[in-house]
């Protein structure tokens, strides 16, 4: 079987076994996360702020910079689809300058990466699949009632045990437009799957 046929068969199996009723707008995204993880719990834990799917796709087609917290998430994004959508993707976690700033301040590299991402111009899709501290500068800015750019949205799906649930719940409470995987589950694979699902829903992107 060719890869597309395998994917189509997998999606058919997922749809036949899916027990949760999902709105048409979010169903392809949830199904792609289940496809990437074989974990049906995401049908219940993936949480979408109102209108977020269309908002994220609009940002992508406006040439958004998709900024990830790990090179693993970056690697999982379909680069051909990304190019056809007219967007870019980047990750600065391995940057020596980021590491130097983090060491000097006693902060995580993920936090520094978000601070730098917030200073960039233009539309941005900020993607967190691993490090919850990546989310903290944005959350703190929102909680301090400082303006959040209108051309910004967040995928918040870090995985783990420390600060993970707290970061996700604070992000949801912040009114920042986002997609969040509540609870401990998540990861770079989930983050990349969400980005790819967003890309594949844009006409002409997946050929």
pLDDT digits (tens, 9 = 90+) for 80-126: 999 999 999 999 999 999 999 999 999 999 999 999 999 999 999 99
Exposed / middle / buried, residue 68 (Cβ in 10 Å: 0-12, 13-18, 19+):
buried
Q: How many CA atoms lie within 13 A of 71 on its CB side?
A: 5
| 178-203 confidence digits (pLDDT tens) | 999 999 999 999 999 999 999 999 99
Contact assessment for residue 53 and residue 125, using Cβ atoms and an 8 Å cutoff? no
Q: Domain spans of the chain? A: 3-200
- Of residues 149 and 133, the one with the higher pLDDT is 133
Contact assessment for residue 121 and residue 143, using Cβ atoms and an 8 Å cutoff? no
| 45-85 confidence digits (pLDDT tens) | 999 999 999 999 999 999 999 999 999 999 999 999 999 99
Q: What is the pLDDT of residue 169?
A: 98
145 is catalytic: no
**154 has a pLDDT exceeding 90:** yes
Per annotation, catalytic residue among 35, 84, 182, 206: 35
Q: Which fold has domain 3-200?
A: Rossmann fold (3.40.50)
Q: What is the pLDDT of residue 39?
A: 97
Mean pLDDT of 156-182: 97
The alpha-carbon radius of gyration of the chain (Å, integer) is 16
Q: What is the pLDDT of residue 146?
A: 84
The alpha carbon of residue 198 and the mean position of all alpha carbons in its chain are separated, in whole angstroms, by: 10
Tell me the C-alpha distance between 69 and 164, whole Å.
14
């Amino acid at each position: 079987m060719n890869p597309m046929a395998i994917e189509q068969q997998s999606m058919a199996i997922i749809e036949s076994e899916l027990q949760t009723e999902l709105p048409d707008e979010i169903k392809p995204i949830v199904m792609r996360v289940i496809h990437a993880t074989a974990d049906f719990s995401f049908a219940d834990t993936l949480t979408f702020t109102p209108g977020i799917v269309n908002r994220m796709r609009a940002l992508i087609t406006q040439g958004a910079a998709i900024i990830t917290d790990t090179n693993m998430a970056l690697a999982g994004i379909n680069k051909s689809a990304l190019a056809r959508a007219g967007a870019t993707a980047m990750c600065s976690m391995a940057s020596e300058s980021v590491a130097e700033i983090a060491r000097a301040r006693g902060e995580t590299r993920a936090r520094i990466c978000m601070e730098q991402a917030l200073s960039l111009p233009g539309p941005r899709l900020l993607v967190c699949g691993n490090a919850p501290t990546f989310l903290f500068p944005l959350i703190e800015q929102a909680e301090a009632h400082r303006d959040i750019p209108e051309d910004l949205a967040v995928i918040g799906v870090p995985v783990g045990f420390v600060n993970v649930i707290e970061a996700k719940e604070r992000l949801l409470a912040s009114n920042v437009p986002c997609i969040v995987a509540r609870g401990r589950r998540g990861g770079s694979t989930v983050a990349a799957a969400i980005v790819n699902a967003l890309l594949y829903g844009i006409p002409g992107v997946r050929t």
